[in-house]
A = this chain, B = another copy of it.
Amino acid sequence: MRQVAVIGAGMTRFGKHIDRSMKDLAREAIEGALRSAGVDKEAVEAAAVGNAVAGLITGQECIRGQVVLREMGIGGIPVINTENACASASTAFHLAWLYVASGMYDVVLAVGMEKLFHADKKRTFQAIGSGIDVETAEEFARQMSGEQSAGAGESRSVFMDYYANLARQHMARYGTTREQFARIAAKNHTNGSLNPHAQFQTPRTMADVLATPMIADPLTRMMCSPIGDGAAAVLVTSAEKARQLTAKPVFVRASALGSSQRHSEGEAGIVTKVARKAYDMAGIGPQDVQVIEVHDATAPAELLVYEELGLCGVGEGGKLVDDGVTALGGRFPVNPSGGLLAKGHPVGATGVAQIAEIFWQLRGEAGKRQVPGARVGLTENGGGVIDGENAAAAIHIFTV
């Protein structure tokens, strides 16, 4: 398979875009990606479009990509609409990568887009809640601790209960504290204050995070990713073509995707397994990674991913936080963009937005949040929940 490179990236600011359609948001992101690549829309040979819940929010259940692209005058080409819950966009990126890696196409667009805000907030939570097996939703709620689940799916996402449960397990097993979770959220909000694309751009302290209302113990509001709208797009080409088009191609060293699997206690989970696959593809290990974007749907999720990516041993995530290892300036800067907690989490846009951030970081174009000299980056994007873990996970590794 051929080596593939990212040559352009664009995204909207994430946030509450009540008056803008998904088309309008996607157009801004796609135009940004084309402009930054210096490539005309006529050169695009195929597109992979990730979206999670437009069917339930806007009613556009089908041909989600075509309705966006045709208004931009992009037609004729293969359009793959794809979904993998919160990992929809990185699945789209994986397919764009596959098209180029296979040799089938040279210039392929990967798009992630989402409108989550809806006049009926309950509908938003129900849409997000379809990232679990809806037939067994009641069983799922029972698996969470009873009291914490009251209201899940009505006034908040069921995922907050899922993550709260994981957080409590980690606290009980390894002595992890709510202060450590709060520190992660404060770090990401502080990073977000340096990112003009972030939904929240106010620096926060651990005390600020702990002072926000409790959503599902131990998660306070600021430990949970917000509802948001937005879009992101990147353009991929063969490494050979990339070298012709730009002085700063960002090479894709690994594109690994996996799904959950029933496994026994103590056996590695989905993120660990997909990470191993990604490191194998790239021929590197966690020690080589210099900038990382992970799926911090909640603050504890980020801590768990530290361990799953091998940034530290199992149970040592809390110490990593205390030592400031994952802050800007640390050994493993995680979520310099602000992550899902502060940059925001329009679910079907998130995966490509993570990749856009790593693209900018590796090109030295990340402004005030730049990780100096970073040459190896990694993204981790999880989607949905099944069998007690992410239903889908995608990990990508990039180098310059």
Contacts and interface: CB of A to CB of B under 8 A. Distances in A.
A172 interface: no
Interface string A377-389: 0000001101100
- The residue in A94, A134, A384 that gathers the most chain B C-beta atoms within 10 A of its C-beta is A134
Given A55-B130, A75-B262, A259-B75, A83 B84 contact: no
A390 to B, nearest CB: 10
A61 B67 contact: no
Interface residues of A, number: 61
Nearest to A86: B62
Interface string A186-213: 0000000000000000000000000000
A103 B1 CA distance: 7
12 contacts: A1-B104, A52-B61, A53-B55, A53-B61, A53-B62, A55-B61, A61-B127, A63-B132, A63-B391, A77-B258, A98-B104, A101-B104
B135 A383 contact: no
Contacts of A62: 52-53, 83-85, 130-131, 383-384
B391 A66 contact: yes
A83 B48 CA distance: 11
Interface in A254-282: 257-262, 270, 273
Contacts of A258: 76-78
- The residue in A21, A60, A84, A383 that gathers the most chain B C-beta atoms within 10 A of its C-beta is A84
Contacts of A79: 84, 259, 392
